[in-house]
Amino acid sequence: MKRRRETVLIAALVLGCAGFSPWWDMAAGASREVRLTAFVGSASKPPALEAKAVYEKAHPGVVVDMTFGGSGTLLNQMKLEQTGDIYLPGSDDFMEKAEKEEAVIPSTRRVVAYLVPVINVRRGNPKGIRSLRDLARPGIRVGLGNAGAVCLGDVAEEILRLAGVEEQVKNNVVTYATSCEQTQQLLQLGEVDAIIGWDSFKSWAPDKIENVQIPARYLRVRNVPAAVSVYSKRRKAAEDFIAFLTSKQGKAIFKKHGYCVKAPRV
């Protein structure tokens, strides 16, 4: 009997060294660390980081690695590297592009929050900007997102075109940003007088940014969607994290950061 126990122990050690889990490990229900990679449009950076922290605390052994940037840039990176578990762009148009290019699983798509475009100006509105046409005034420095790479850039172009001031305003654009985060930083750092940004930017820096509303007829409200990447090897875990983002608790985090969690009426 003693020799038999020694044989079992030696076999278990050999299997363990070979990369197999010993039977007592499985019996104890031990689980290895699960790492998820999420490509996240920087329009959602503050609430996404908080949601990550809350989720990881409630799910020991799960780590959500987040890469932030322009939605178009991230989609290209995900496809080029054929990696990632979750795509969370800053707007639905980039998710539609991802679906068309078969980079995500359409049935896993969920809406997390909504973004309303506004004119963001410096606190106190020292330049007295009240309308889209004011962005074309001589001496006004404007910053925009880079269309094609940043969802905010596409939205801004569409709004300016609808308002009939696209060319005039573009004459005042001093720089194009490569992400939503960089777009609002232009304003925070005083590099521009105004940007076309999201209403939630005010909550990012309430002491530096305030909003000027855009007429409803020009508005193009976007939603922030999430879906599982076709390259994911951890679909169940990815779907669980998306379910958290769209749960009552997850939406409360986005609402806390100034995001609409119900479709706004415009």
- Please report the pLDDT score of residue 24 as a whole number: 29
- Please report the pLDDT score of residue 6 as a whole number: 47
Query: Residue 170's CB: how many other CB atoms inside 10 A?
Result: 16
Give the integer Cα–Cα distance in Å for 183 and 90. 13
pLDDT interval class at 151 (50, 70, 90):
confident
Give the integer Cα–Cα distance in Å for 4 and 191. 77
Q: Quick check: pTM over 0.85?
A: no
101-108, long-range: CB within 8 Å, 24+ apart, which pairs? 101/75, 102/230, 103/75, 103/78, 103/79, 103/229, 103/230, 103/231, 104/227, 104/228, 104/229, 104/230, 105/227, 105/228, 105/229, 105/230, 105/235, 106/227, 108/227, 108/228, 108/235, 108/238, 108/239, 108/242
% of the chain beyond a pLDDT of 70: 88
| Whether residue 149 has pLDDT greater than 90 | no
pLDDT interval class at 9 (50, 70, 90):
very low
pLDDT interval class at 28 (50, 70, 90):
very low
| Whether residue 16 has pLDDT greater than 70 | no
- Model pLDDT for residues 239-261, shown as the tens digit of each residue: 999 999 999 999 999 999 989 99
Report the CATH fold assignment for 117-218: D-Maltodextrin-Binding Protein; domain 2 (3.40.190)
- Residue 214 backbone zone (phi > 0: left; psi -120 to 50: alpha; other: beta): beta
Identify which of 117, 138, 107 has the alpha carbon closest to the alpha carbon of residue 195.
Answer: 117
| Whether residue 113 has pLDDT greater than 60 | yes
- Please report the pLDDT score of residue 15 as a whole number: 41
- Please report the pLDDT score of residue 31 as a whole number: 53
Please provide the CATH number assigned to the domain covering 34-114+223-256.
Answer: 3.40.190.10
- Please report the pLDDT score of residue 26 as a whole number: 34
Query: What average pLDDT is seen over the chain?
Result: 89
| Whether residue 119 has pLDDT greater than 70 | yes
Residues of the chain with CATH 3.40.190.10: 34-114+223-256, 117-218
Return the ∠ at Cα 181 (arms to 264 and 68), rounded to 5°. 100
| Whether residue 187 has pLDDT greater than 90 | yes
Give the integer Cα–Cα distance in Å for 61 and 78. 24
